Structure 1
Amino acid sequence: MKQDTVRSDHFRLSDQYQELKSSLHRYLIQLIEERDLDFDSWSAERVDRFVTDQVRRYVVDQRLPVNARETEWLARDARDELVGFGPLQELVDDDSVNDIVVNGPNRVFVERNGVLESVAIRFANDAHVLRVIQRILSPLGRRVDESTPMVDARLADGSRVNAIIPPIALDGPCLSIRKFRKHALTSEDLIQSGTVTRAVVDFLSERVRNRINTLILGGTGSGKTTFLNLLSQWIPEVERIVTVEDAAELRLEHPHVVRLETRPPNLEGSRAVTARDLVRNALRMRPDRIIVGEVRGDEVLDMLQAMNTGHDGSMTTIHANGIDDAIHRLEMLAGFAGYSGSEVTLRGQIVSGVELLIHVSRLPHGARKVMAVAEVEGLRDGEVQLRHLFRFDPAADTILDLREAS
């Protein structure tokens, strides 16, 4: 069985198969144009029947040396080229895949369970990759070309897309898709996976209900957004939440949420709406809590202002490698935003605004863990004082409760 799979993968990766797919795609496009078919109005079942019938007829008419199984592959791939995302469609449909990464036409990787692995999928050439990228972006009203070689976008299901093409990308068009989980993870899911313990969940749920301002920190892909979604489940339903994101990924399990998303500049380089613009506007929308998907720029000052002016229980995430590093990064971002006050004054604002820090991380084998939970106690001699409440012990592979020890 394994040898059959290897042979199958080898055939699907071959130039012969790619050329056959391209010829078949051109044949179907010509057929559709000649018959003036409206695929958009067809059901998925009708599209499948049409493509399968035409592929079988094409194989017979052209006397192609392919067996029944290979004909099924051709029919599925042809359908995906016509109405889906080409070679990537099977990965988009696979719920076990969290991320899809395309490095040019011949190298495709996916992340499953936190581990990145190569898959037996390829494109015919750079133009094929570009065609799929344009297929993804077109319904979103976005485009990528030599004048705008980089683009960020969000699919209808919330999945985040980034594309970058030559001449910026030297090895061919590159595409990244961070898939949107269909069902938000619950606290029980994270406990069973070992991400958190019952003690951590009980502590955090109590803090969220008590409207503690929270900062979630970690590296890329560490699970910050997932954890922010988890915390939102404990916000009382009577409260009004306004969220601000660069790309809307949050799925808050709450009945009263206003979602705001930044807008990039248009082709003339104007009419952009930044995260700072949205945070400022959110302050005027009578929010009980403001949730910023990620603080990464000058919006940090407005977020700290919100946390210091009655919007208790607000939350955000930040890229940082540890609890102490998160404090330093807040200071650095404030400096980039034009803050001109003293260092001690800025730290006073941080201490008054941020009350709880949660560090999440992805370990080398792919598992995601809560590495540390700490609360801000205040300033002493101009330095931020932290009290560590929970800490992950890699030797014991468990999260230690430090509250009794301290």
Structure 2
Amino acid sequence: MRLNERLDAARGVRRTLETDEAPGRTDEPTQDERDVVVEVREPDPSVTAAHLEHADDPLAGFKEAAAQELFARIGSRLNDSSMTEDKLHALARTELGQIVATEQAVLTPGERIRLIDDIAADVLGYGPLETLLDDPTITEVMVNRHDQIYIERNGRLLESSLRFTSEAQLRRVIDRIVSRVGRRIDESSPLVDARLEDGSRVNAVIPPLAVNGPSLTVRKFARTPYTVEDLISMGTMSREIATVLDAAVRGKLNILVSGGTGTGKTTLLNVLSAFIPPTERIITIEDAVELQLQQDHVVRLESRPANIEGRGEVTIRELVRNSLRMRPDRIVIGEVRGGESLDMLQAMNTGHEGSISTIHANTPRDAISRMETLVLMAGMDLPLRAIREQIASALDLIVQIGRLKDGTRRITHVTEVQGMEGEIVTLQDAFVFDYSAGLDEQGRFRGRAVPTGVRPRFVERLADVGIAFPMSAFQVEPRAAREF
């Protein structure tokens, strides 16, 4: 069926649905309307299946056919590294104009503009994800299968009305994302971690591992990095905590940000990195580049997986070791999840102070236990006491961030690592989240992290290097005086 015939059929289905489902209509249809109903209820079977599914979009079938034709014409150039994105878009629009002209499709000016934009998104971009990625209120996009997309907005999961037209379209989007960062995904390597140009994290899984079809998860990054004032206004941290963390970073304390998946560890790491003086040399090490540091003197390192022949892998651990030869003032590791934790601790203990990293754990005590496990993964067969002594000597502060039941992300603990007591690493909370304030009318927690009244030992260490802050930050407020 020609493109313009598909367009006419789609418009016919749309007219039928509007006639049948018009709200409040009680009169009998006219003879002309009956004729339209009879005519479009028995269309070409090749049109029915595609367009009843996308009946809200009369151009859906037309766009799909045009996209297939466009992809057939320029598909070999989509991953051509010698072509810039601007040239590729210009070529696609030129080819698309020829396709429409050849088919002699009758389109209104509005339909033509919409068609060109949608085809560009389908073939050159991210298809229906374009709208979701452009929405600043959406923090995560989860494609369970081509016809089921969920989003996270304000900490809540919602199902989106947008859909991919087919598994083939979803797979093309996945291939395009992966190829842009030099990764691959196929039956021999059916899962991959990648990123978008803005740093948004992407995970994709395809059959045979994904039983219901290709799955895609995108954790978005804000186009404008969050500042400490943003986190204070959102209730993630209090101003007292911000003051303490500012002093801790400038005073070169070694800080570990701990939290579960999706709690905002990387966002908090970005905010902490903003406290680093611009005169210092920073080396960042990540699996996939996500950090958005604002300083000028930054060297960004990214690990690399093995190629199709199983060669060429560069691990986080190798990058940590190499960074020690790059004259760093600060080493910022996106996340420790393996043997690189031992190298990080050794770096912290041998003069590379002020390092910051993140770890998956639910409490500060769990963070210590997990760090012990990760060090054992280095394969050095160290005794447990030696590992704990390394941890107690290297780490100064653990900042625990959590995603509460109301969907908000809050700092729940600011904990000092004080040293060893017998066989145990001793911890002391400086701030702890207060749940006793209850919930507001929207079901959100009123509380915030409040001081425990304990003055951390690192206060004197910071004072020795000329960094002072008001001791009132650690004073316990009477409950009646707290403002939540």
Is the TM-score greater than 0.5? yes
Q: 1:268 to 1:43 in 2, by over 3 A?
A: closer
Which residue pairs with 2:78 in the alignment? none
Q: Secondary structure at the match of 1:226?
A: helix
Decide which of 144, 152, 176 is 1:111's aligned counterpart: 152
Q: 1:31 to 1:257 in 2, by over 3 A?
A: closer
Decide which of 354, 357, 375 is 2:398's aligned counterpart: 357
| 1:303-352 Cα distance to aligned partner (Å, 9 max, x none) | 00011111111111000000110000001111122242222221111000
Which residue pairs with 1:393 in the alignment? 434
Mapped contact 1:217–1:323 kept (Cα < 8 A): yes
Which residue pairs with 2:143 in the alignment? 102
Cα distance in structure 2, aligned partners of 1:108 and 1:346: 44
Mapped contact 1:15–1:124 kept (Cα < 8 A): no
Q: CA deviation at 1:49?
A: 9.6
The alignment's C-alpha RMSD in Å is 3.0
Cα distance in structure 2, aligned partners of 1:224 and 1:39: 34
Letter in 1 for 2:157: L
Q: CA deviation at 1:40?
A: 5.3
- After TM superposition, list the pairs within 5 Å mapping 1:270-289 onto structure 2: 270-289=311-330
**Greater Cα offset, 208-217 or 89-98:** 89-98
Cα distance in structure 2, aligned partners of 1:76 and 1:117: 26
Cα distance in structure 1, aligned partners of 2:450 and 2:224: 29
Cα distance in structure 2, aligned partners of 1:230 and 1:379: 30
Determine whether 1:26 maps to 2:68: yes
Q: Secondary structure at the match of 2:138?
A: coil
Which residue pairs with 1:175 in the alignment? 216
Q: 1:18 to 1:105 in 2, by over 3 A?
A: farther
Mapped contact 1:51–1:79 kept (Cα < 8 A): no
Mapped contact 1:393–1:399 kept (Cα < 8 A): yes
- After TM superposition, list the pairs within 5 Å mapping 1:215-254 onto structure 2: 215-254=256-295
Decide which of 373, 398, 414 is 1:373's aligned counterpart: 414
Q: 1:84 to 1:309 in 2, by over 3 A?
A: same
Decide which of 362, 374, 386 is 1:321's aligned counterpart: 362
Q: CA deviation at 1:42?
A: 5.2
Which residue pairs with 2:40 in the alignment? none
Cα distance in structure 1, aligned partners of 2:352 and 2:181: 34
Cα distance in structure 2, aligned partners of 1:140 and 1:280: 24
Cα distance in structure 2, aligned partners of 1:388 and 1:42: 56
| 1:83-127 Cα distance to aligned partner (Å, 9 max, x none) | 321121112222222222111111111222222221011122222
**Greater Cα offset, 169-178 or 320-329:** 169-178
Letter in 1 for 2:232: I
Letter in 2 for 1:263: R
TM (norm. structure 2) is 0.74
**Greater Cα offset, 389-398 or 309-318:** 389-398
| 1:132-170 Cα distance to aligned partner (Å, 9 max, x none) | 211222333332111111122222222222211101111
Cα distance in structure 2, aligned partners of 1:248 and 1:29: 30
Decide which of 118, 123, 129 is 1:77's aligned counterpart: 118
Q: Which has the higher contact order (CA 8 A, sep 6+)?
A: 1
Q: CA deviation at 1:393?
A: 1.2
Q: CA deviation at 1:51?
A: 5.7
Mapped contact 1:55–1:74 kept (Cα < 8 A): no
Residue-pair matches, total: 392
Cα distance in structure 2, aligned partners of 1:208 and 1:168: 43
Cα distance in structure 2, aligned partners of 1:184 and 1:119: 26
Mapped contact 1:158–1:249 kept (Cα < 8 A): yes
Which residue pairs with 2:297 in the alignment? 256
Decide which of 301, 304, 311 is 2:345's aligned counterpart: 304
Letter in 1 for 2:302: E
Decide which of 150, 158, 164 is 2:191's aligned counterpart: 150
Q: 1:304 to 1:32 in 2, by over 3 A?
A: closer
Which residue pairs with 1:335 in the alignment? 376
Q: CA deviation at 1:272?
A: 0.6
Cα distance in structure 1, aligned partners of 2:114 and 2:249: 50
Which residue pairs with 1:141 in the alignment? 182
Mapped contact 2:284–2:301 kept (Cα < 8 A): yes
Cα distance in structure 2, aligned partners of 1:207 and 1:54: 61
Cα distance in structure 2, aligned partners of 1:53 and 1:347: 68
Runs of 4+ in structure 1 deviating by more than 6 angstroms, as ranges, are: 13-17, 30-33, 43-50, 52-58, 67-72
What percentage of aligned pairs have identical amino acids? Answer: 45
Cα distance in structure 2, aligned partners of 1:56 and 1:11: 27
Q: CA deviation at 1:16?
A: 8.0
Which residue pairs with 2:460 in the alignment? none
Cα distance in structure 1, aligned partners of 2:362 and 2:278: 33
Q: Secondary structure at the match of 2:128?
A: helix
Bigger-Rg structure (1/2)? 2
Cα distance in structure 2, aligned partners of 1:164 and 1:11: 25
Mark the runs of 5 or more structure 2 residues left unpaired by the alignment.
1-17, 23-51, 76-82, 438-446, 454-474, 478-484
Mark the runs of 5 or more structure 1 residues left unpaired by the alignment.
none
TM (norm. structure 1) is 0.87
